[in-house]
A and B are shown apart, each in its own frame.
Chain A
Amino acid sequence: MADATHAGHAHHFDDALQQRDASTLGMWIFLVTEVMFFGGLFTAYVAYRALYPDAFAHASHHLDVTLGTFNTAVLITSSLTMALAVWSAETGRRGMLLLTLLLTAALGAVFLVVKGFEYAEKFSHHLVPGPSFHWPEAAEAPHVQLFYSLYFAMTGLHALHMVIGLGILTWLVLGARRGRFGPAYATPVQVSGLYWHFVDIVWIFLFPLLYLIGRH
């Protein structure tokens, strides 16, 4: 978000500190808009879960908890490597910065690949909403389909944010290779870190809501 292309500050700011404050506040406000964006989906989920608890619980049993747990661990680890990347930038450890950024991106990619396998499995079991959707018990089929509509909308939107995050990480890696970031100019790494942690936190809510609740 910052306008600077070097360690100084853009012309309309008085100094680098003002620019850093602006960028950080800007990212926090952006994350607030993201909370509201996902909030609409969570509201829909909560409303329908309360209306059709049994159908949602049955539908939830067909999600793969093992893969979901694995992916949760992958994402939490990626948050750790991202935090290390921010620390490396702030303390001027260039090699460490490059390494942790690459690790974060790799973990993000692993998450997406696993998610892709999960989606494929849903396709083969006719659990994707639409004409091919099939559920043995006709009475609760519409509400199970509702669950899967929300499942794909929520995890799909989350995956889209992961893809954008990978794009940002790539951009950071390119910058880190040229040695752009250091103690004097760590803002891009810091605000990207905020974004990455936010995307993780969304998953921390999605995982129990979709996979765990109703599983006894």
Chain B
Amino acid sequence: MEPERRVDYLNVDYGVRSWLLTTDHKRIAILYLVSITIMFVIGGLSAVAIRLELLTPAGDVFQADTYNKLFTMHGVMMIFFFLIPSIPAVLGNFLLPLMIGARDLAFPRLNLLSWYIFVVAGLLTLYAMITGGVDTGWTFYTPYSTAAATTKVIPVAVGVFINGFSSILTGLNFIVTIHTMRAPGLTWFRLPLFVWTHYATSIIMVLGTPVIAITVALLGLERGFHIGIFDPALGGDPVLFQHLFWFYSHPAVYIMILPSMGVISELVTCFARKKLYGYTVVAGASFGIAFLGFLVWGHHMFTSSQSVLSGMIFSFLSMAVAIPSAVKVFNWTATLYRGSIAWSAPMLYALGFIGLFTIGGLTGIMLASIGLDIHVHDTYFVVAHFHYIMVGGAIMGYLGGLHFWWPKMTGRMYPETLARIAGLIVFLGFNLTFFPQFVLGYLGMPRRYHAYPEEFQVLNVLSTAGASVLGVGYLLPLLYLTWSLRYGARAPANPWGAAGLEWQTTSPPPTENFATTPIVTRDAYDYHEAAAPVSEVLVRG
């Protein structure tokens, strides 16, 4: 029997204008999905170029200057234009209103504006990258960036500046939405952890991003108009730049990882069929991480002129971040304990996240201790550490979440077996790429050089081989998810039997999300009464 054509947010209008002028949070999420995927590909290709150069000890593929531009492009694209918007702007945008039973975010037009700001900033940065590039590294350290560099620092700084407002508006929108738009009965402690972590992330976006904005603005003024703020020759102090830069850029790491942690909480509960162990503590831990995250920036500056006393305080506080992080890892593990575990593709990513994040976190404690940090400062040990957090953590969570909510977003199922294989390839490729870098760094290989001594070659070849495997692992989802848009099986409203409110509406949802405003009568993750269908979340007129 031919089912009646149901109007949803995707087929309601196919015109280009209906996409470019949409204020529907779900469509804006799709716009973001497409844009950040392009940025990910660009950032990924520059990573390929970096690994290619490092295959051999001699600097034989690129010249040193080109190599500097490549790792800068990789860092700027991946951090500002992929990782920071990734989960919040795509999954958060799509899911937040659905999860709290709202018809949209509080400020739909502001939401669209933030996407346009992102696009303008991205295009400007890309333009600068293509027409000359930047060689300062994504950190733009002064006085090199303001007095010495001859590359396109100002256009990229302006791009990063503009992009910050996209982040600020998204965070502002999320906070207001969570406060004012929750469905009747959805009390604070019934919220899914995905919502809690996005709340904590939004606080960081709102408090941290303006500081990087004013910092790069001052950098631009100094470079363009010789207004001395950071350049010692003009009376300034370059360490002030580092303070201001890391005041945002360290919390930015938590903008990347916290939303991912929210995704993991959703995945672990759904595929272990259990209530989250210690819900309140896990929710609170997000704020613990967000709060401590603002007090640890000095651990990036142990080798600057920072005083020994501040170094020790920053060291202690950085180690303290391990506490709320470990709370989360232990509680996910406790949730898995005696759970009825399904090894679905999203769950594989979640389990991968827990392992890789733990390694990234533990090496973070090593780096927080001043003595060891001075030994491995600016080596591949640091590179490996933050890739375990940002790629092993944030991207694993993003991919897991993308698979989990793909049926809801597109109305189509992805090929499960292929997805599981891809997940395993990503996990293996990731470890092969980055584990050797821990060893390389510990042996003393510095980052940001295009040539290295011959004794480092074996480990570098392993890393480059791993990068190729990882590349295949990323290419597969790109291909089969695209394929599924046309050929995938039609998704039911709730293919996973998940408890969240977003699964109560159809897949894909109608423009107004819910036919009638849902009234919530249960806690999140109520998987315990196995017999009880998820639809006990009552839908009333």
Contacts and interface: CB of A to CB of B under 8 A. Distances in A.
B103 A11 contact: yes
Contacts of B107: 1, 3, 22, 26
Interface residues of A, number: 39
Nearest to B239: A47
Contacts of B109: 3
A25 B244 contact: no
Nearest to A51: B237
Interface in A101-144: 129-131, 142-143
Interface in A138-184: 142-143, 145-146, 149-150, 152-153
A37 B233 CA distance: 26
Given A11-B103, A12-B104, A146-B236, A22 B180 contact: yes
A100 B215 CA distance: 37
B368 interface: no
Interface string B222-245: 000111110001111100100110
A18 B235 CA distance: 51
Nearest to B212: A40
Contact of B229 (A10, A18, A25, A44): A44
A130 B228 CA distance: 9
B227 A152 contact: yes
Contacts of A64: none
Contacts of A70: none
Interface string B169-193: 0001101110111000000000000
A33 interface: yes
B478 interface: no
B206 A33 contact: yes
A130 B235 contact: no
B454 to A, nearest CB: 45
Contacts of A22: 106-107, 176-177, 179-181
Interface in B87-140: 102-110
Contacts of A130: 225-227
B289 to A, nearest CB: 19
A134 to B, nearest CB: 14
Given A26-B106, A37-B211, A129 B226 contact: yes
A129 B538 CA distance: 66
Counting from the closest, the 7 A-B pairs by CB-CB distance are: A142-B235, A40-B214, A37-B210, A12-B104, A36-B210, A146-B235, A12-B103
Interface of A: 1, 3, 10-14, 18, 21-22, 25-26, 29-30, 32-34, 36-41, 43-44, 47-48, 51, 129-131, 142-143, 145-146, 149-150, 152-153
6 contacts: A10-B108, A14-B517, A22-B176, A26-B172, A43-B243, A146-B228
